[in-house]
Structure formats: structure tokens, C-alpha cells
Amino acid sequence: CQTAMTLGGATAADIAAIGITNQRETTVAWDRNTGKPFHKAIVWLDTRTSETVGKLCKGQGGKDRFRAKTGLPISTYFSAVKMKWLIDNVPEVKKAVDSKTCMFGTIESWLIYNLTGGRNGGLHITDISNASRYMLMNIAEGKWDPAICKELGIPMECLPTIKSNAEVYGTVKGFGKLDGICIAGSLGDQHAALLGQGCIETGSSKNTYGTGCFMLLNTGEKAVPSAS
């Protein structure tokens, strides 16, 4: 970005804001004191969490035990399962969780944290589209669900604060020419694609082609539970 600004003769004053879109669910755990990650990120399609999923599905309600609140079945996809795997399998993460120095987040959280100062006051936030894919958020309230967090052993103080998709979160610090630019938007990739294609009316839909083919549909202001 700084190279592009130099080549174009632009300054921070020429840039209205920074917006971020990211691959959802991919999870990072990092140290509150040092700002360094404890482990490599676990990406959305990583299946090392299969055993964790199997154990969770044995509880009352099976794979749908959290669906009424989160809208999601228990799956290797979602961030909560990746966080639990990190806690159960990476001693440094478990120690940090116990000492309340662990910070969990998806990639937009990691980027915003670093762009706004990192260990020197960086913001620990996520947007509601990414939060909806953690399998920890009550989708009716737009808040982390205390009961689910407790059941999975994920302290709420380790989670980012949930923000809207479009607001000024903070400004860039420590990145030269980018310093002072507002970060004012964050949207998970599939949600961003739906908006980018102009599907803003109820009933409009689109397919996204990449690692797979995914259809998204705008249900308007009413949640429509999946039948599958």
C-alpha cells in the first residue's frame, strides 16, 4: 500500500478509509502482552478438529445442540471448535487462557489489532458477519452467548468485541504513510460478495465460486432457519 501511495503521489489525506474483507472462520490465538501468535492460524477447511466435533456431537442435541442460538450445526468449519482445539492441544494457548492473556480472533481481528497498534493499544474487535461464524454468538441478540462459551471452555474475555460492519473502528498506527487513516469497514468474504453483487433486496441471491460453490440469499430482516 505504501509503495502504491508513493507511486501515485498520494498521502493519507487522499484516502477516505480502509475496509477489510477476509476468509471467515480462520482462527488465530495470540499473546495479549507480546502481540505474538501462539500457533499457526487454523484455516476454515482444516479438519484436525474432527475429533473435537465428534465429542461435542455426543452431547444432548447432537450436532444441533447450539443451532437454536447460533444458527449453526457443530462442524469443523466454525471458529469455536478451532479455539477449543487450540486450548486442548497447544499448551501455550491453555496457559494463556488460564492466565487471561490469550486473545482469540479471526483474520480481520488479527489485522485490525496489528494495524491499530498491536500490543501498544491495538483494538481487539470483530464485525458481526465474522462473529456469526464463531458458533459462539447468539444471532438474535448479536452478542457472545455466555452459556455456550462456558460449555466449550472459551472465556469471553479472550474474545473480540463485536462491532457493526460499517463504523470507524480506529486509525492506523505504526505503518508509515498509512498512519492516521481510518479503518471503517469489515465484512466476511461471503457476506461481502453478496453486498458487492448488489443483493440488497429480500430474496436476491448469488453464487460464489472458489474452493467450492456457495449460494447466499438475502432473507431480509427475518431469520430463516436452514432445513439442512
Question: Given this model, what pLDDT does residue 222 score?
Answer: 86
Segment 33-38 shows an average pLDDT of 97
Q: How far apart are CA 26 and CA 20, in angstroms?
A: 15
**Tens digit of pLDDT for each residue in 140-193?**
999 999 999 999 999 999 999 999 999 999 999 999 889 999 999 999 988 999
Helix (H) or strand (E) holding 137: strand 137-138
**Tens digit of pLDDT for each residue in 41-60?**
999 999 999 999 999 999 78
CA 27-95-107 angle, 5° bins: 15
Q: How far apart are CA 189 and CA 122, in angstroms?
A: 23
Check pLDDT > 80 for residue 228: no
List Cα–Cα distances, 227 to 1, 216, 224, in angstroms: 44, 15, 9
Segment 22-43 shows an average pLDDT of 96
Question: Given this model, what pLDDT does residue 224 score?
Answer: 86
List Cα–Cα distances, 80 to 8, 43, 69, 72, 75, in angstroms: 42, 12, 14, 11, 9
Burial class of residue 218, CB neighbours in 10 A (0-12, 13-18, 19+) = middle
Q: For 183-207, what is the HEC assignment?
A: EEEEEEHHHHHHHHCCCCCCCCEEE
**CA 51 from centroid of its chain's CA atoms:** 22
**Tens digit of pLDDT for each residue in 197-217?**
999 999 999 998 877 888 899
Segment 70-88 shows an average pLDDT of 97
User: By C-alpha distance, which of 93, 101, 112 is closest to 41?
Assistant: 93
Look at the pTM and tell me if it is higher than 0.95.
no
Question: Given this model, what pLDDT does residue 85 score?
Answer: 97
**Tens digit of pLDDT for each residue in 93-144?**
999 999 999 999 999 999 999 999 999 999 999 999 999 999 999 999 999 9
Q: How far apart are CA 19 and CA 169, in angstroms?
A: 10
Q: How far apart are CA 45 and CA 116, in angstroms?
A: 28
C-beta of residue 205 within 8 angstroms of C-beta of residue 199: yes
Question: Given this model, what pLDDT does residue 3 score?
Answer: 86
Segment 9-29 shows an average pLDDT of 93
